[in-house]
Amino acid sequence: MTACPLIQVRGLHYSYEDGTAALQGVDFRLDPGESVALLGPNGSGKTTFILHLNGLLAGKGAIEICGMKPDKANLPAIRRKVGVIFQDSDSQLFMPTVLEDVSFGPRNLGLEPKAAAGRALAALEAVGIAELRNRAPYHLSAGEKKRAAIAGVLAMEPEILVLDEPTTFLDPPAQRSLAALLSRLPQSKLVVTHTVAFAEAVCTRAVFFERGRIVAEGGVTEIAARFGWAFE
């Protein structure tokens, strides 16, 4: 793991095709070992922001992932380092079986089928669903699908995990085991979430998005209290 900041973002601007400004100058930094919660209202730019972190979107401003700028040449390396787990697991698990899906990343990295399957199996064991490897994704529960999606990303051996609203569709027990799993994983994390309790369990600090900008930074509880974000 590098000692430099993993993610460094300065002055990020992005507008959609129809002109709506989604990001209006975001400054952000992620150091090794940190876990940061991204809080904020819907439409404030959280998802748009994380899509910039692995080069899926390209806005104006300075982005550095482990010192690399997200230009075409660096994208493969960046996408290996930054593993994004999207909100909808069904769009992420698109292969016929869990094992094939989790092997998708390693195969893209150039590994032979056997080696890729080995990596995939290790990732499945890390998330605790190795016995589901030959199941079809539509035979899994929401919690199992989320774990399979995480495994698919872990199989790339990333340094940063980015999760977009991972607790969607999960019932409270599943949310608890997911929080426990994430706390066990050694990677640095960025978690977009609305569930403050979940953020408190997994993250050490939080930033608050509002209208395309980060307006506050601090501890999770502190930020939640300041913006009235906790349910109680």
Partner 1 sequence: MGLHPRPLVMARWASRRGPDSFGSMAIILGPGADTSGCPAAGRARHIGARSGMPLSGGAKAEAGTSARAVGLTGKPARVTRLRFAQAWQACPLSTNRNDRATVGNSLHIPDGFLSTPVWAALDIAAAPSVAYIARRAQRGFEESRAPLLGVLGAFVFAAQIINFPVGPGTTAHLVGGALLSFTLGPAAASVAMTAILAIQALVFQDGGVLALGTNIVNMALVGVAAGYLPYALWGGGPRRRLAMFAGGVLSVLSSALLALSELAASGVKMSGGVLATAMALFFVSAILEGAITVAVIEAIERIQPRAARHPASPMHLEKPRFQRSPLPAMIGLAALLLSTVGVLLASTQPDGIQRLGERTGIAARVRMLLHTPLSNYHASFLQSDVGGKVLAGLAGIALVYAACVLVGRAFFRRAVVRNRSI
Partner 2 sequence: MQRAVPRSLASLDSWSRGSSALHRFDPRAKLIALLALLVAVATANRSIPRFALAVLLFLVAGFLWARLPVAGALARAAVILPFVAVLAAVLWIGGQGERAWALAAKSYLSALAALLAMATTPLPRLLGGFEKLGAPRFLLEVAQFLYRYLFLLPEEAQRMRQAAAARSMRPGIREGFRAAAGALAVLFARSYARAGAIHHAMLARGFNGRFPEMQTAHFRKADAVFAVVASAVPWGLRLL
Question: Shortest Cβ distance from residue 151 to partner 1 (Å)?
Answer: 20
Alpha-carbon distance of 61 to 11, in angstroms, equals: 5
Burial 54-65 (b: 16+ CB within 10 A, else e): bbebebebebbb
Q: Considering the rule CB under 8 A, would residue 79 count as an interface residue with partner 2? A: yes
Taking alpha carbons only, the member of 82, 60, 80, 100 closest to residue 7 is 82
- Cβ atoms of 177 and 159 within 8 Å: the answer is no
Alpha-carbon gap, residue 224 to 113, rounded angstroms: 46
Q: Give the total of residues touching partner 2 (CB under 8 A).
A: 35
Distance CA 44, CA 25 (A): 12
Nearest residue to 13 via CA among 56, 61, 62: 61
Report the nearest approach of partner 1 to the CB of residue 21 (Å): 13
Is residue 94 a contact residue for partner 1 (CB under 8 A)?
A: yes
- With contacts defined by CB under 8 A, name the span among 13-21, 24-32, 104-112, 180-188 that binds partner 1: 13-21
Among 68, 95, 174, 181, binds partner 2 (CB under 8 A): 95
Q: How far is the CB of 12 from partner 1 (least distance, A)?
A: 14
> Between residues 141 and 183, which has the closer beta carbon with respect to partner 2?
141
Choose from partner 1, partner 2, none: what does 152 bind? Cβ within 5-8 Å by kind.
partner 2
Give residues with Cβ within 8 angstroms of 106, minimum separation 6: 115, 116, 119, 120, 155, 156
Residue among 147, 228, 230, 153 nearest 195 (CA):
230
Told to check if 81 binds partner 2 by CB under 8 A, we report: no
Q: Of 35, 44, 48, 195, which lies in the binding site for partner 1, with binding defined by CB under 8 A?
A: 48
Q: Which positions touch partner 1 (CB under 8 A)?
A: 16-18, 22, 48, 51, 56-57, 94
List interacting residues with partner 2 (CB under 8 A): 51, 54, 56, 76, 79-80, 83-84, 86, 88, 90-92, 94-97, 100, 103-105, 107-109, 113, 116, 136-141, 152-153, 156
